[in-house]
Chains A and B, each alone.
Chain A
Amino acid sequence: MAEPALTFRDLTLGYHDHPAVHHLNGTVKQGSLTAIVGSNGSGKSTLMKGIVGVLKPMAGQSVVVSGATVAYLPQQSELDRSFPARVIDLISMGLWPKRGLLGRFTSEDKARVKQALMGVGLEGFEGRTLDTLSGGQLQRALFARVLVQDADIILLDEPFNAIDARTVRDLVALIKRWHGEDRTVLVVAHDLDLVRDNFPETLLLARRPVAWGATTEVLTPENLLKARRFDEAWHDDAPWCEPMHGQAHDHGVGHEGHVHAGHDHDHHSHGPRAA
């Protein structure tokens, strides 16, 4: 079997001593299409940031299979829409992995940008500035940027938020096309019906993985109840999460045969707190 596209080894990510993703173990198969589901604050966006390397782990690691490229679509709110850029400029940013800081855009590159623009149904919008786009149009443009990136692993953080039904349908079709091209796709989503209909695999997060596997087996009423019950709050007086003891490590939802062994913390003094 092919190497997994992504491997999480005892991965803990968080902010200010508090974990948002706690001791995650498991792998994501190459060419799989996975939805990441969970309440607000359950660690979905944090996990994406950890995978792409924007957020450094507090413990453990997230490993991308060697040679694979990653495209990451953050939530829309991270973008400065008042910046004087055109749709075409935004989409051309997707050429960065190929051209970097100084490489000239070739006519082939430009053709690819144009093709992406058409692929998301934004012909005629190339010269429009970002502040004149609707939420759905901006999301289409951002998907076009992902298209241009042409990556092996694609991470989409809440791409369907505040997007109308028609646009969602078009974007889901695009995601399925990527899946058909054997790319590994992870999508943070809230709409469970949409997930059931379109995503073969699901990771249900509540800071720790509640369930991970085939969507039909993950999105059961019991699992969803378990996920809803998770405690969203931080506790300033939560005990420090020490390795080797107690319940901190009994979470192993062994996925793809990876079972957490419970060792190898190298930062006891500033480790994450047990939530």
Chain B
Amino acid sequence: MYDFFIAPFVEFGFMQRALAGSLMLALSSCPVGVFLMLRRMSLAGDAMAHAILPGAAVGFLLYGLEIIPMTVGGLIAGVIVAMGAGAVSRFTIQKEDASMAAFYLISLALGVMIVSLRGSSVDLMHVLFGTVLALNDEALRLIASIAAVTLLTLAVFWRALVAECLDPLFLRSVSRLGTPVHFIFLGLVVLNLVGGFQALGTLLSVGLMMLPAAAARFWTNRVWTMCLLALAIGFAACVAGLLISYHAALPSGPAIILSAGAAYLFSIITGPRGVLRARINRHRHRTA
């Protein structure tokens, strides 16, 4: 028991770092994922993850595999795409799904082009899939700051975010926060994806954001509870994924995301709002 669950984290520094990094990442990105899902923007997270690539690639080209330049680059690219797509959807007839798709495709193509200018496919793989087992102090500090900023922002803007999801026109009738809060939220999405890409890569960091949130939706009908549950699922996925990765010598990023995926599949089937419950009660009903 001890050997399987505890020992890897006690004996190896890289496992401790991986655990600390991924848990902080879950703490920060799972609640963001809940709001992303409730705003029906689940796929926008995926699009944003692709959008970060050219920025990270430019940072990589100029400075090599250094976390700060790649993060800053990714942040800039992400913010440009998020703001661009957000602005197009707010101020023109085009909806956000279309504008987001357009912007991220341009961005992704640009990113692949830039990486191919200099560097091998190994580098590209690193940017795309990250290495949670190689987190250094700098990366951990970065993830910690991103988590702090995210939680603080969510706490401050919670009421506006909920109102903006539920009844945006009402929010705009009582406050000027409607449009700003949308962009602040998109900023948080970018920030968390950028925070995650060193550990999990641009593609997998979306997984830690969306899968626990999607799983939590099957269990509860309150936003607050949903965020806590998503957090718990995210934490469990990080621990399980790292252990699986350690014992079976599998890549850690995909192991974490697949663990979250397993939680999602389990929730679809057994959650109170999942399929099993609906099947069982199909032929029964109450009197009123």
Contacts and interface: CB of A to CB of B under 8 A. Distances in A.
Contact of A101 (B168, B170, B177, B226): B177
A31 interface: no
Nearest to B217: A84
29 contacts: A16-B93, A52-B173, A53-B172, A53-B173, A54-B169, A72-B169, A72-B173, A74-B169, A78-B167, A78-B168, A79-B166, A79-B167, A80-B166, A80-B167, A83-B165, A84-B38, A84-B221, A84-B222, A84-B223, A85-B162, A85-B166, A89-B166, A93-B170, A96-B163, A96-B171, A101-B175, A101-B177, A102-B159, A149-B174
Interface of B: 38, 93, 156-157, 159-160, 162-163, 165-175, 177, 220-223, 226
Contacts, number: 64
B220 A84 contact: yes
Contacts of A54: 169, 172-173
Contact of A93 (B157, B163, B172): B163
Name the prevailing secondary structure of the B interface residues: helix
Interface string A141-161: 000010001000000000000
Contacts of A70: 173
Given A72-B173, A85-B162, A93 B167 contact: yes
Contacts of A74: 167, 169-170, 173
Nearest to B175: A96
Contacts of A93: 163, 166-167, 170
A78 B38 contact: no
A101 B156 contact: yes
A53 B174 CA distance: 10
A101 B173 contact: no
Cβ-closest 6 pairs across A and B: A72-B173, A74-B169, A78-B169, A96-B174, A52-B173, A83-B166
Interface-central residue, A89, A97, A101, A102, by most chain B CB under 10 Å: A101
Given A83-B38, A84-B221, A100 B166 contact: no
B165 A80 contact: yes
A129 interface: yes
B222 A101 contact: no
Contacts of B162: 85, 89
Nearest to A92: B159
A90 interface: yes
